Amino acid sequence: MIPSSAPSRLILASSSPYRRELLERLRLPFDVMVPDIIETALPGEAPEATALRLAREKAAAVAQRAPGSIVIGSDQVATLDGEQIGKPGDHARALAQLQKMRGRKVVFHTALCVWDGRASALTGPAQLENIQTVVTFRDLPDAELDAYLRIDQPYDCAGSAKNEGLGITILERIDSSDPTALTGLPMIALTAMLRKAGVRFFGL
């Protein structure tokens, strides 16, 4: 562990407003830097492996630009029957996603990486963890799904639903060890990693 007195800069390696809002809950000063990486799965890559690799690549890319910092990277991959479900991008694709998922269970892999740029070569800079969330979607008619999408417009969300918004009304059940993982940043896992890196909370 790095001594808590060591100066450090905390950086969120993400363009996501949802992750930024979650990190703000910790009341720690942090900066935001957008990583420049290609966010696609490799041929034959398992969903969990994709999420972990991209979380690590995001953190590493920003760490190169900000040496000596603590960088947080995260990535989420949603799957139905083992098939990856990406961000829909528009209304038609989002509706098709919800129609396919209604009445079914979707697995969300939310990977987290905390990259400590102060760590020694012996301990290594990266802490990695994947949090799995199983979401059961309600079996709703097309009219309700269409109405929801037009109100919430979750076109930048894998799975086409904002659980922190009106999307909670189209979900039947959420099973996870970390309630914030589905929104994109597993806060229970993150605070454990930050503590391991020597970050203190509550001003102590």
pLDDT tens-place string over residues 47-77: 999 999 999 999 999 999 999 999 999 999 9
Residue 143, number of CB atoms within 10 A of its CB: 8
As a whole number, mean pLDDT of residues 157-168 equals: 90
pLDDT at 118 over 90: no
Determine the CATH number of domain 10-196: 3.90.950.10
pLDDT at 1: 38
Q: Residue 10: name the closest of 66, 53, 51 by CA.
A: 66
> What residues are annotated to the active site?
75
As a whole number, mean pLDDT of residues 136-147 equals: 97
What is the Cα–Cα distance from 141 to 32, expressed in whole angstroms?
A: 40
pLDDT tens-place string over residues 12-57: 999 999 999 999 999 999 999 999 898 888 898 999 999 999 999 9
Q: Going by C-beta distance under 8 Å and a sequence separation of 6 or more, which residues neighbour residue 50?
A: 41, 42, 75, 77, 84, 109
pLDDT at 5: 42
What is the Cα–Cα distance from 159 to 190, expressed in whole angstroms?
A: 23
Q: Residue 128: name the closest of 104, 147, 109 by CA.
A: 109
pLDDT at 41: 86
* Of 2-11, 29-38, 157-166, the least confident: 2-11
Strand segments, DSSP code E, in 54-97 are 70-80, 83-85
* Of 5-9, 88-92, 117-121, the least confident: 5-9
Mean per-residue pLDDT of the chain:
91
pLDDT at 6 over 60: no
As a whole number, mean pLDDT of residues 169-177 equals: 96
